[in-house]
Structure 1
Amino acid sequence: MNIAHPYEAAESGSRTLPPLNALLAFERAAAHLSFRRAARELSLTPSAISHQIRGLEAQFGAKLFVRGTRSVRLTLDGERYLEKVSVALTALRQASRELQRHDGGELWISSLPFFTSTVLLPALSDFRRRHPGLTLRIEATHSYADFNNSRVDVAIRYGREQAAGLKLEPLVAVTGLPVCAPALVKGGLRRPADLSDQILIHLTTQPASWPNWLKGAGVTVTPRGHLWLDSVPAMLEAAEHGLGVTLAMAPLIKARPGFGTRLVAPFDATGGRGETIYLVSRTEQVRNRRIAAVRRWIADAVARAR
């Protein structure tokens, strides 16, 4: 009878466990059925994702993907492996989050800057009254929250991109509404066609917003100029200073302090395609009490802002 030395047995077992980076690359590529999207989510190149997956296939002597010219799909072995890997990675992420917040007293929110200033901040005193033992950490950003590699618990997102493995709950439907300083209205801005005499203020991450709005409103204008800014609060502040006309999220814009005095809607016309703001969380945390409490608070805050 041959009995393996304990060290040899342990060494052999470790060789069957692939690198974590390779497992992450496989799980993301399988979730999206796209090496390119997996690469973007993990801040890698598509070739690096492909290399990691080929390493797994070489290690196990099994094909995990069928590669086409423009797409990939899982093999039967790949589907079976994904089922086990997803469970294992979910358990690792949950264990890591529990270690990071072992006292259970913090919850991290990633939120759009405009939503943060208009909806969340005015409602913070209500949150502290409801949940005095829970501390919120709010990151105001236009970037999509990285639920796989960050401490984010809940995100406020505009649209449904990158939703694999996440639960999206609609909070409010919004449409673009032109807003400006009252002085521009006094100067003759009365209808959409008058935008040809104005400077349009754009959000750099949404270059199609104004073109889509104008198309939806059925007007063709050549504006006097363009101003590009990197956040919605900066756009609204620029509009308040009379620097041009920008698009705001209706109906939430009406909850912004100063709306109706420092900032007005020159005409009640909407254009372009409406979008939805979602509350996003991990599917495995649907029944988490802390997240359920924050979900109720945010829904109430939106109702008040509307």
Structure 2
Amino acid sequence: MNKIHPEIHLVQTSAPSRPAIPPLTALLAFERAAAQLSFRRAARDLSLSPSAISHQIRGLEAQFGVKLFVRGARTVRLTADGERYFAKVSVALAALQDASRDLLRQRRDIGSELWISALPFFTSTVLIPALPDFRRRHPELTLRIEATHQYADFNASRVDVAVRYGREHSTGLKFEPLVAVKGLPVCAPALVKAGLRSPEDLSRQVLIHITTQPRAWPAWLKEAGLPHLEPRGHLWLDSVPAMLEAAEHGLGVTLAMAPLIKARPGFGKKLVAPFAFEPAHSETIFLVSRTEQARDRRIAAVRRWIAEAVGRVKA
């Protein structure tokens, strides 16, 4: 008996063609460089190096086989191909950004959580002591607080409100001044007892710095009329709480943020201000939120709470 073997037909299909869509990182680099006509400014906007921006753009040019920029000694300009591509890429990226914002807005509108990004010292000194008051007034809301020195990315993260220095990356954001702060030298009482009486006496002390603000002490000394003062040594730390703890242990003199430092437990006992001199220069701490959330009742509630907490510290 003959066995019947089923017929098997092999049909070879061509693989789907690869979409001609470059990596998003390359498109972002191109869009920023085209908008700014500067690889350096594009690198600043994206927190990259100029060489990284140039590498991404060369990758685009290699993929498409066209030149997108004419590079000069210190300038760049778009080619005709670059101008046409920029017109379409900028629209596409704006659409992606709008879609992402809509999703985030939907999550925020239906959620009971609010995300706050704040400076670590501001968090420990102002926000945490005021949390019981917020819970009492708004039991239906849950706060998630991130204590960080990094700028909050309102486009790519869940942050609803930020507390930070300066107005960098301000497109689409609302900035409200919270408090003006000045650098105030503080130290352990033992250093004062040992003879620390005037700014000139800092030449016999160790200056405690925060790594993110290397110009803080030089600026203060310049205002005090001592731009060439050489201290006994330097101690560098990566956070304000660490600096203050080092000062409390008598390791040197650090700059605290006045008037916020007055709210730190132990100020006046563990830490004292040895000088009467107060610099004229100040920095502003801002409350930052999205412009389109100006009427969001939850954001308004957090805004009022933070402003009142700052007011209690300043009083």
User: Could you say whether these structures have the same fold, taking a TM-score greater than 0.5 normalized by the shorter chain as the test?
Assistant: yes
Q: Tell me, yes or no, if the aligned pair for 1:177 and 1:268 is still in contact at 8 Å.
A: no
Listed as ranges, the matches of 1:76-155 within 5 Å are 81=88, 84-85=91-92, 87-98=94-105, 103-155=110-162
Residue type of the alignment partner of 2:223: G
Per-residue CA deviation, residues 246-297 of structure 1 (Å, 9 max, x unaligned), is: 0001111112111111111101223474211112223333333322222222
Determine what percentage of the aligned residue pairs are the same residue.
73
Cross-structure match for 1:245: 253
Rounded to whole Å, the distance in 1 between the matches of 2:194 and 2:92 is 63
Rounded to whole Å, the distance in 2 between the matches of 1:99 and 1:26 is 30
Q: How many residues align?
A: 295
Cross-structure match for 1:267: 275
After TM superposition, give the deviation of residue 38 of structure 1 in Å. Answer: 4.0
Q: Tell me, yes or no, if the aligned pair for 2:31 and 2:90 is still in contact at 8 Å.
A: no
The verdict on how the C-alpha distance between 1:95 and 1:65 changes in structure 2, with shifts beyond 3 A counting, is: farther
Moved more, 127-136 or 23-32: 23-32
Q: Tell me, yes or no, if the aligned pair for 1:215 and 1:272 is still in contact at 8 Å.
A: no
Per-residue CA deviation, residues 220-270 of structure 1 (Å, 9 max, x unaligned), is: 422111111110011011111111110001111112111111111101223
After TM superposition, give the deviation of residue 209 of structure 1 in Å. Answer: 0.9
Listed as ranges, the matches of 1:221-300 within 5 Å are 221-271=229-279, 273-300=281-308
Gaps of 5+ in 1: 1-10
Rounded to whole Å, the distance in 2 between the matches of 1:104 and 1:228 is 41
The verdict on how the C-alpha distance between 1:20 and 1:245 changes in structure 2, with shifts beyond 3 A counting, is: same
Moved more, 241-250 or 293-302: 293-302
Residue type of the alignment partner of 1:264: V
Q: Tell me, yes or no, if the aligned pair for 2:210 and 2:238 is still in contact at 8 Å.
A: yes
Rounded to whole Å, the distance in 1 between the matches of 2:173 and 2:37 is 16
After TM superposition, give the deviation of residue 204 of structure 1 in Å. Answer: 1.2
Rounded to whole Å, the distance in 1 between the matches of 2:135 and 2:292 is 26
Q: Does 1:188 align with 2:195?
A: yes
The verdict on how the C-alpha distance between 1:209 and 1:93 changes in structure 2, with shifts beyond 3 A counting, is: same
Cross-structure match for 2:204: 197
The verdict on how the C-alpha distance between 1:55 and 1:238 changes in structure 2, with shifts beyond 3 A counting, is: closer
SS of residue in 2 equivalent to 1:143: coil
The verdict on how the C-alpha distance between 1:78 and 1:179 changes in structure 2, with shifts beyond 3 A counting, is: farther
The verdict on how the C-alpha distance between 1:59 and 1:295 changes in structure 2, with shifts beyond 3 A counting, is: farther
- Tell me the TM-score normalized by structure 1: 0.81
CA RMSD across the alignment: 3.3
Moved more, 64-73 or 134-143: 64-73
Residue of structure 1 aligned with 2:181, choices 163, 168, 174: 174
Rounded to whole Å, the distance in 2 between the matches of 1:240 and 1:169 is 33
After TM superposition, give the deviation of residue 81 of structure 1 in Å. Answer: 4.5
Residue of structure 1 aligned with 2:39, choices 5, 21, 35: 35
